[in-house]
């Protein structure tokens, strides 16, 4: 039986195919750039000049070198795309305005810079690409283990090209929950609840991007952070959702579409996990903000 499509249906189908091709083209470049960041970081390891930003977070020459390289390569391949990076929050003169363009690259050149400086083997490059303020491509490349976590909107999540998914441990199993090192009041209060509750085991590798990747890969049942920025989660949020997980605010509200007209230094607190344990984490975090 032959199925006939109306002209509008053909146009829609063609637009979907074209968009998928664009997203995969973006993914290919983002994946390559995240892998190339490993070599740049390694070339500065142990000798990168270090300084502190206004929020007391650490930044190194390696962060700037990686971000500059990614900006240059994206501009060559996609000159009409905008760029937001942890080390340059506002667009420079001549750059595309992320508030008005279709695609915006959101990059954390080294998530886990304190680990990088100290030689602690846990840090990653995170690249998320937004289409009209919603993540459509995500790449998190963990440098030392050489693992790439990727996702395209509607295409599932992968680790090194193999499909991954969140895992819901059987009832009665201890749950690994990943969280930050921040010492602000909301974080310490949440941590106190987690470490005193039977069956919950706390883990922290010093990178929110890696925490989100581990949730997507089923290593952790959930993760949270209170002091977290757009570039920390733009890639990981999509990877978790494409792996079958859930990511919301600490009160359960959706985080996307992101508001690129707001202060990009503002925190974007999140809770992530498989659907069951995401709700369990919300039971801990939500009452603090009710």
Residues 54 and 85 grouped into a single domain: yes
111 catalytic residue (yes or no)? yes
pLDDT of 93 reads: 44
pLDDT tens-digit series, residues 141-195: 999 999 999 999 999 999 999 999 999 999 889 999 999 998 888 899 999 999 9
Assess if residue 2 is contained within a domain: no
Q: Could you tell me if 51 and 77 lie in one domain?
A: yes
Annotation marks residue 63 as catalytic:
no
Domain match, 27 and 135 both: yes
Determine which one of 26, 63, 84, 113 is catalytic.
113
Same domain, 155 and 179: no
Q: Which of 111, 142, 241, 242 is catalytic?
A: 111
Give the pLDDT confidence score for residue 78 in this predicted structure: 96
Residue 205 is part of a domain; what is its CATH number?
Answer: 3.40.190.80
Active site residue 22: no
Q: Spot the catalytic one: 26, 110, 194, 210.
A: 110
Among the listed residues 232, 241, 242, 277, the single catalytic one is: 232
pLDDT for the residue numbered 56: 59
| CA–CA separation, 123 and 10 (whole Å) | 45
Is 169 within the bounds of a domain?
A: no
Whether 166 maps to a domain, the answer reads no
70 and 194 together in one domain: no
Does 47 fall in a domain?
Answer: yes
Residue 210 shares a structural domain with residue 266: yes
Poorest-pLDDT segment among 22-26, 56-60, 245-249? 56-60
In the annotation, is 232 catalytic?
yes
Catalytic-labelled residue, pool 40, 60, 63, 86: 86
d(CA 156, CA 165): 8
**Residue 86 annotated among the catalytic residues of the structure:** yes
26 and 155 housed in the same domain: yes
| Tens-digit pLDDT profile for residues 105-152 | 999 999 999 999 999 999 999 999 999 999 999 999 999 999 999 999
Give residue 42's pLDDT band: very low, low, confident or very high (50, 70, 90): very high
Domain span holding position 284 = 175-289
* Residue 95: band (very low, low, confident or very high) from pLDDT cuts 50, 70, 90: confident
Q: pTM above the 0.85 mark?
A: yes
Confidence check: pLDDT of 48 > 90 = no
The CA–CA distances, whole Å, from 273 to 11, 49, 61, 251 equal: 37, 36, 34, 14
Per-residue pLDDT at 8 exceeds 80: no
Indicate if the pLDDT at residue 5 is higher than 60. no
Same domain, 181 and 153: no
Tell me which of 63, 87, 108, 142 is the catalytic residue: 108
Domain count, the chain: 2
Residue 62 pLDDT grade (very low, low, confident, very high; cuts 50, 70, 90): very high
Percent of the chain past pLDDT 90, that is, above it, reads 77
131: left (phi over 0), alpha (psi -120 to 50) or beta: beta
Residues 279, 152 share a domain: no
Checking if the pLDDT of 102 tops 60, the result is yes
Whether residue 163 has a cis bond before it, omega within 30° of 0: no
């Amino acid at each position: 039986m032959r199925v006939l499509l109306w002209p509008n249906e053909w146009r829609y189908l063609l637009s979907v195919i074209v968009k998928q091709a664009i997203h995969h083209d973006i993914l290919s470049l983002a994946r390559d750039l995240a892998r190339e960041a490993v070599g740049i970081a390694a070339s500065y390891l142990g000798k990168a000049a270090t300084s502190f930003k206004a929020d007391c977070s650490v930044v190194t020459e390696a962060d700037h070198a990686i971000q500059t390289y990614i900006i240059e390569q994206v501009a060559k391949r996609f000159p009409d795309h905008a760029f937001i990076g942890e080390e340059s929050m506002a667009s420079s003169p001549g750059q595309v305005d992320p508030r008005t363009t279709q695609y915006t690259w959101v990059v954390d050149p080294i998530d886990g810079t304190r680990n990088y400086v100290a030689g602690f083997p846990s840090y990653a490059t995170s690249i998320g690409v937004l289409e009209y303020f919603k993540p459509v491509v995500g790449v998190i490349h963990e440098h030392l283990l050489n693992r790439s976590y990727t996702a395209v909107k509607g295409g599932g999540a992968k680790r090194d090209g193999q499909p991954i998914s969140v895992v819901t441990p059987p009832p009665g199993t201890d749950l690994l929950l990943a969280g930050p090192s921040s010492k602000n009041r909301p974080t310490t209060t949440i941590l106190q609840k987690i470490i005193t509750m039977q069956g919950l085991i706390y883990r922290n590798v010093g990178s929110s991007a890696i925490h989100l990747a581990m949730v997507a890969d089923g290593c952790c049942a959930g993760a949270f952070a209170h002091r977290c920025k757009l570039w920390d989660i733009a890639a990981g949020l999509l990877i978790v959702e494409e792996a079958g997980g859930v990511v919301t605010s600490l009160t359960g509200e959706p985080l996307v579409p992101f508001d690129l007209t707001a202060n990009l230094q503002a925190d974007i607190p999140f809770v992530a996990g498989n659907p069951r344990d995401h709700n369990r984490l919300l039971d801990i975090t939500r009452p603090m903000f009710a």
